[in-house]
Chains A and B, each alone.
Chain A
Amino acid sequence: MNNVFVYCEMEDQRIADVSLEIISRGRALANEIDVKLEVICLGHKLNGVEKELFEYGVEIVHKADDKCLNPYLTMPHASLVATIFEKEKPRIGLFGATSVGRDLAPRIASKLKCGLTADCTELVIGDYLDRKTKQTYQDLLLQRRPAFGGNIIATIVTPDTLPQLATVREGVMKKEKVANPRKGKVKTYNPEEFLDQSDLVVKVIERHIEENKLNIKNSSIIVAGGYGVGSKENFEILFELADTLGGDVGGSRAAVDAGFIGRERQIGQTGITVRPKLYIACGISGQIQHRAGMENSAMIISINNDAEAPINKIADYVIIGDLNKVVPQMIKSYKENIA
């Protein structure tokens, strides 16, 4: 009762990165309010997932293993998660802000008539003073999230209803194993007992998932190109720079929309969030939705032929010039100067 729960998203037999990130954060939150960390894991052929989850400090794994739970479908997952929540009465429930989590969590919140905060980038424990009633609530989950197209950051609380639910953006929290992992408990559920026919009316008839998912998120060097790169062909030179420096290539939404580069490489509010050691922005103007996904990079270099481009204001180094000349020169200079 009253514990921290995380819904663990499965990509077939693998635990999604975003879930491990949230579980790591969940561990810290549970420590702070002195409760247990529990995880719900639904899928098929889940043999041994608990072992990995225990390494992240999970104490109880609620598990259901059945064909009807993989691939993910809204209704069976929602029915099971809601049933478990109704029984276990969590204090906090966290989901990834992914196409799965943002599909599932609102359904649960509506069913349990509780609050849900979307797309959080920060979760901390703190107090809340209701100015109208002068009542202070202690140890609430303070949920910070960007809204208004990224132009504001709101802190949202859910003082009166439990559980406090939130979806959490991928890439903003750090995945961390615990120092002294312990073997926890596993509770298994038989979906047949909880689901009825009406939960199974929607059917997946085909799935096409790109296999080796790019791992730009974990790259320490990112060369990103924007609409200013001009064409798919011109992106070649960015790939060459990334190869030379041992990094990966990302892009702005305008570059993705123009077909210069694949959507899986989009950085920003509606793409991935990255925080590399070095971010080289080539021909990117730096609109707020793009900056949301990269402004925490340790070092930013901007290459832009417009001195007024907003990206220059958050860059450590600014090169005003044509990227088609600057980038090749960077490759050359690097090769000449590296020992």
Chain B
Amino acid sequence: MKGLKIIVLAKQVPDTRNVGKDAMKADGTVNRSALPAIFNPEDLQALEQALRIKDQIPETTVTTITMGPVRAANIIREALYRGADDGVLITDRRFAGSDTLATSYALSLAAKKIGKFDLIVCGRQAIDGDTAQVGPQVAEKLGIPQVTYVEEILEVNKKKITVKRRLENGVETLVAPYPLLLTVHGSAPECRSRNAKLLMKFKHACTPAELVREAEDYLRLHDLHDYLDITEWNVDDLNADLTWLGLKGSPTKVQRVENIVFTVKESIQVKPDKEGIDGLMKELIAHHNVG
């Protein structure tokens, strides 16, 4: 019997975590286009869980799927450098403007096209949209059960998997058969780093669209090694119904976006000595803020 067939869903996101000075506009709001594009952190942790299963069960394969612009192929490469077997980039203008319902429709079609998977592993949440909805929606579209907020895989074999799930006020252990979708929580272990050998091997892996821009000798390299071809699928490859895609297929509409402006309050400076703090505490007591 073969190992497991695992699909990892990973998104390229702007790094909204550490907004540095260069990404701030003069009016005190964030310039979103100035944020670097990164591998969504919880998706890297999802990849790690998939790779751990691959380490344990021989002949397991890990395929990354990402949907985004052409440069999102970086996500596929980053996954290859860490031990994934292959990847698929879903890219097409007609996907633009998709909300989570439309996104999950596209991703579920890709998973179906790959077919016969045992496990789909996603991050819990992307750090730009911040919804945590895509995982469960993909599971529903594929008609498979889900376990969200996974922190640790306790036991895995070819028939079933036992996982620990992180809740607000505790943990839960669940067991489930395949096919199954997991979403991985930020409290799970970090992903391993790139492997030097794999980096050498897959450095020139690229999608057909990227290949067009490559120099002659790379083209020859690609003729020699099939593993350097990253699969790319568009709306037609997925046989997707246009009514469920893009803006049209997205029931939620963004009416308005307000940038958070860093407002400055008039604050009172208190000296860090006995006198200053005495004064502050007296005031708090007098105004019934304390006591």
Contacts and interface: CB of A to CB of B under 8 A. Distances in A.
Most chain A beta-carbon contacts within 10 A, residue among B162, B166, B251, B281: B251
Contacts of B257: 152-155
A319 B166 CA distance: 37
A156 B136 contact: no
Contacts of B20: none
Interface string A118-159: 110000000010100000000000100011111111111111
Interface residues of B, number: 81
Contacts of A277: 289
Given A98-B168, A159-B253, A109 B267 contact: no
B156 to A, nearest CB: 15
Interface in B227-269: 244, 250-260, 262-265, 267-269
Contact of B16 (A99, A151, A153, A156): A151
B38 interface: no
Interface in A285-325: 288, 299, 301-302, 310, 312-322, 325
Contacts of A213: 169
Contacts of A314: 263-265
A186 interface: no
A147 B282 CA distance: 40
A180 interface: no
B174 interface: yes
A32 B140 CA distance: 33
B277 interface: yes
B272 A107 contact: no
Contacts of B115: none
B48 interface: no
Contacts of B146: 74, 103, 107
Contacts of B171: 207-208
B60 interface: no
Nearest to A166: B252
A299 B19 contact: no
A195 interface: no
Given A119-B131, A314-B265, A326-B277, A106 B100 contact: yes
A113 B137 CA distance: 10
A115 B251 contact: yes
Interface residues on A, range: 35 or more
Contact of B277 (A159, A288, A330): A330
Contacts of B255: 128, 142, 155-157
A208 B172 contact: yes
A15 interface: no
Contacts, number: 246
Interface stretch (B71-79, B83-91, B122-130): B122-130
A334 B267 contact: no
Contacts of A74: 136, 145-148
B167 interface: yes
Contacts of A326: 272, 277
Given A106-B140, A116-B133, A149 B272 contact: no
B176 to A, nearest CB: 4
Contact of B268 (A158, A318, A330): A318
Interface in B23-54: 29-30, 32
A325 B256 contact: no
Interface in A259-278: 264, 270, 277-278
Interface in A238-268: 245-246, 264
A204 interface: yes
Contacts of B291: 245-246, 334, 338
A156 B252 CA distance: 6
A151 B148 contact: no
A-B complex: 7 closest residue pairs judged by Cβ atoms? A321-B272, A149-B16, A115-B251, A118-B131, A209-B170, A110-B140, A106-B136
Given A152-B260, A333-B277, 6 more contacts: A74-B148, A106-B134, A146-B130, A203-B176, A326-B272, A334-B281
Interface of B: 14, 16-17, 19, 29-30, 32, 99-101, 104, 127-137, 139-141, 145-149, 162, 165-177, 180, 186, 244, 250-260, 262-265, 267-274, 276-278, 280-282, 284-285, 289-291
23 contacts: A106-B133, A115-B101, A116-B133, A116-B252, A146-B130, A148-B16, A150-B260, A152-B30, A153-B257, A157-B255, A161-B251, A205-B173, A206-B173, A207-B171, A207-B173, A208-B172, A210-B169, A213-B169, A278-B289, A302-B267, A325-B272, A330-B281, A333-B281
